[in-house]
Chain A
């Protein structure tokens, strides 16, 4: 099963409402994925600052100490904000370097994202409790993607929760299962991608990072994914200024979309969209199989 929600705002006036609207959507799909949940929120950019999100594993992490070590290692100032078991590091240094350092040197934490805009939060257990605990409803921004997980391909852990992000300001959520992820993971690792889990969806996220590094646009990368990724999938992808949806050619995994002048929304089921403002006048459709849908704030 699994449930996916995505909300991409076209009307900036709705940005203060992003978290509240996303939390209501996620709550509707709680019963599709009671094992764990997570969400990515894009917003709160500060020029020249990269945010790196991380979450503690089993025990507590001394985030202040980690921030100091990270600053020393990278030679750039690092501030840290703690939110429950999560930390958001803010640095003027290079985000990718900081991500790799944290993965290599802080094994008691999982690095969730890095970028100027993206923030990812995850938890294990009841999606509603996780959303409340991590204050999703209060978050502002331009777009958000959420996921409720019923685990299949890997264990129920925070690290195995969605969204997955391996590249700057990019994240992916997945409903389905991939069948060629082991071979593809080896291929991507040889090309320098860093993995933190054995999860198939993390491979799909890393695939997009790799293709983007090779110069593909998001649309090109997803079109290539149709050939390179084998299995069942409905993906929703976020980038700093974009939002994309892709279903496999068989389209086993459900999906419905809606669009108004104010927003574009994705839900695994319609009930996730039923609470959105203006849904009665929205254009509603089921995304076609093997078809890439992309929205961008810059175009």
Chain B
């Protein structure tokens, strides 16, 4: 959704800018970012406002200093967004690429429908984390709430803590790695073998999330689809 307006040069902000949401509206801040090619920005006074830094498309380094509301960094492409606080519903929803790092907790539906990139949550995630995941990798250092990875199609959900009820309900081909215990597994979700290739993939994600060397991949169990619930032919996966 990033709008590359043709009048970009007229309003090009300087790089390394501080954008203050106590003085600018979310619309103004986002438009300013959408009109820029990239750069480093510090966003102050987010105060739980919605859709901050949504729809970015470019090599940005954004730091948001405080708690954000709904849909922060939604639809993100390429950009790296760090939130020094908690995030409300749908952080990094439908993210395409890049990196979103939340230093606090996140509310429901974090990373929902995400297609690519990496979402890191230092705290806990509440219900429906990674719902309908389509390729995004999510690393949650705390625990996740109920119905996480519901109908997740592709991508990875790594959880260092526990999972709430019905983990991976109606899951398709996403991979789930859980170090703690799930309260229960959802329909058609099962424990799977942790082969070397999975350990290597998990190691890579943990390293990318800044956990290199501190977490032992052998402490995790892998969960995925028992493939009894859907009539999708996995051998055709490459065609889609």
Which A positions have Cβ atoms within 8 angstroms of B?
A: 251, 254, 256, 269-275, 284-286, 289
Contacts and interface: CB of A to CB of B under 8 A. Distances in A.
B67 interface: yes
Contacts of A289: 127, 145-146
Interface string B83-103: 000101100000000000000
B105 interface: yes
A275 B105 CA distance: 20
A254 B107 contact: yes
Given A251-B126, A251-B145, A271-B47, 16 more contacts: A251-B108, A254-B107, A256-B107, A269-B69, A269-B88, A270-B48, A270-B69, A270-B88, A271-B48, A272-B48, A274-B47, A274-B48, A275-B47, A284-B86, A284-B105, A286-B107
Interface in B189-233: none
B49 interface: yes
22 contacts: A251-B127, A251-B145, A251-B146, A269-B48, A269-B69, A269-B70, A269-B88, A270-B67, A270-B69, A270-B88, A271-B47, A271-B48, A272-B48, A273-B48, A274-B47, A274-B67, A284-B86, A284-B105, A286-B105, A286-B126, A289-B127, A289-B146
Nearest to A285: B105
Contacts of B49: 271
Contacts of B145: 251, 289
A157 to B, nearest CB: 30
Contacts of B105: 284-286
Contacts of A284: 67, 86, 104-105
A271 B67 CA distance: 9
A254 B108 contact: yes
Contacts, number: 41
Nearest to B147: A250
Contacts of B107: 254, 256, 286
A151 B202 CA distance: 47
A285 B88 CA distance: 11
B127 A270 contact: no
Kindly list the 9 A-B residue pairs having the minimum CB-CB distance in the complex, ordered from nearest.
A271-B48, A270-B48, A274-B47, A286-B126, A274-B48, A270-B67, A251-B127, A271-B69, A286-B107
B85 to A, nearest CB: 9
A286 B48 CA distance: 14
Contacts of B108: 251, 254
Contacts of A275: 47
A254 B90 CA distance: 12
